[in-house]
Amino acid sequence: MTEQIHEQATVTTRTLHDGLLELEDRPPRVSLFSMIREDWRVNSHMKSRFVLVLFRCAHASYNDRRRLTRALTAPYRFVYRLIVDWVMGIDIPCRVTLGRGVVLYHSVGIVINEAVKMGDGCIIRHGVTIGNKLGDDGESYPPTIGNRVEFGAGAIVIGDILIGDEAIIGAGSVVTRDVAPGAVVAGNPAREIARHAPRVR
């Protein structure tokens, strides 16, 4: 029974992975301003709002298919990096794919690898690291994050792993393996300590 549940969770997370990998290849479904409005609505702290507004604009600039526009907005992307990374200590490169309505709590010391793809409604607290792992082939393999995933302060998620919808990563956890949808994990290395059924949206 346990093996069947594990296999089902693995299939679910792999399906999630395949879907999120297509995000950047799809035409945008919502406008930049809609994304910014939603970020503004779900974040109560001005610092978090400020960071996300700058990120959304930098991300849109980087992903613009018009070469001239990308070239003309390159100085803005440099200013974004200067302010958010060098000054504020938040490393969210403009290549990162963040879904709608991301919440940043106490946004200090957050590090996200540039190839990470994250779904909608995720919660990220201070000190969170979502990083890649170099494979034997020299390629970079980052995590793929589902929808409404919650990261506790100081959580570390590393490598080519899948974090399912509505998973909760406990504070200070070190995650190097797939996390099933609705699972609550904690510890170093992280282990599942509870599970709830993800809500149907």
Is 165 contained in some domain?
yes
Residue 200 lies in a domain: no
pLDDT digits 0-9 by tens, 75-102 = 999 999 999 999 999 999 999 999 999 9
Which of 18-22, 141-145, 148-152 has the weakest average pLDDT? Answer: 18-22
pTM of the model: 0.81
Quick one: pLDDT at residue 17?
Answer: 56
* 178-187 pLDDT, tens digit each: 999 999 999 9
Q: Is residue 26 part of a domain?
A: yes
Q: What total of structural domains would you count in the chain?
A: 1
Instruction: Read off the pLDDT band of 14 (50, 70, 90).
Output: low
Q: At residue 112, does pLDDT exceed 50?
A: yes
Q: Is residue 201 part of a domain?
A: no
List own/partner pairs for 123-128 with CB under 8 A and 24 or more apart: 123/148, 123/149, 123/150, 123/151, 124/151, 125/151, 125/152, 125/153, 125/154, 125/155, 125/171, 126/153, 126/154, 127/153, 127/154, 127/155, 128/152, 128/153, 128/154, 128/155, 128/156, 128/157
CATH for 123:
2.160.10.10
Q: Confirm whether 31 is domain-assigned.
A: yes
User: Model confidence at 136, in pLDDT bands (50, 70, 90)?
Assistant: confident
Domain that holds residue 186: 2-195
Asked if the structure places residue 109 within a domain, the reply is yes
Q: What is the mean pLDDT of residues 153-168?
A: 97
